[in-house]
Structure 1
């Protein structure tokens, strides 16, 4: 059965790539890449770069580089953590929040176009199957 597993993974990655490519082209005018939009989303929930790097599965230096660029572009601001004054956390600026909302809308539109090919029952089954595959990861 391994060939089927590889085929499933390959199709999953191709779909992700197609969605990212479609969205990337439309994020350019916002001054964001797809990876940077994802980082904004992660930082909106985990405001510390090291936590964001772990959540994204990226090396910390890569995330640090992206954070610096996003700060310079006005998408992020660094502030002292009120619970630990030795630590800084990141917050999305109003510009960053607007960009994240737009990126999420673009991704939702791109996915909705593809998902519209599925019948309602097929979408529900796909969601159920993905949830089942994720069970042991939680």
Structure 2
């Protein structure tokens, strides 16, 4: 195995800690209770995606954007439909296909979840200077962009999600 610089070990550790923190079910339970939005943890990214996308999306587009399997998306769409947060509409480009659109109740739910998250972040980062928060945001955006570009190039070059002999994910 190649030697890994110490700062990358530290970065990996920090990313693991934040991923764990942000995806804990207890945190989700607190957020949905505070927001008054009774949805499963897996439904929140789907709602956020629809809120951030102009217009409805096909279930296959949702699955691709979220990096999950189509049956997972179908189950979440069904639950969100029953809750009145989304509905299905005919795809204007293909009469056989359907798209999923966010309903006003779904947009309100996303706004309430985001508001709780923002209040939490304001409290957690209260000791940070505005410039520090902006710098962190810029670095995180840059990291995500670089990870995305590297993943795309890696997949194109090797036809897989990692280099030969390396981890595949």
TM-score (norm 1): 0.83
**Unpaired runs of 5+ in structure 1?**
none
Q: CA deviation at 1:52?
A: 1.3
Alignment partners' CA distance in 2, 1:79 and 1:49: 11
2:117 paired with 1:110: no
| Contact 1:19-1:110 at 8 Å conserved across structures | no
CA–CA separation in structure 1 for the residues paired with 2:125 and 2:16? 16
Q: How many correspondences in the alignment?
A: 138
Aligned-residue Cα RMSD (Å) equals: 2.2
Normalized per residue, the structure richer in helix is: 1
Residue equivalent to 1:73: 83
Task: Name the counterpart of 1:36.
Answer: 43
Instruction: Specify which structure has the bigger relative contact order, considering alpha-carbon pairs within 8 angstroms and separated by 6 or more residues.
Output: 1
Residue 13 to residue 105, structure 1, CA distance change in 2 (3 Å) = farther
Give the aligned partner of residue 14 of structure 2.
11
Inter-partner Cα distance in structure 1 for 2:120 and 2:42:
16
Moved more, 107-116 or 2-11: 2-11
Aligned pair partner of 1:27 in 32, 35, 58: 32
Q: Indicate if the aligned counterparts of 2:57 and 2:100 stay in contact, CA closer than 8 A.
A: yes
Q: What TM-score do the two structures reach when normalised by structure 2?
A: 0.70
Quick check: 1:49–1:63 contact (8 Å CA) kept in 2?
yes
Give 1:94 shift.
2.0
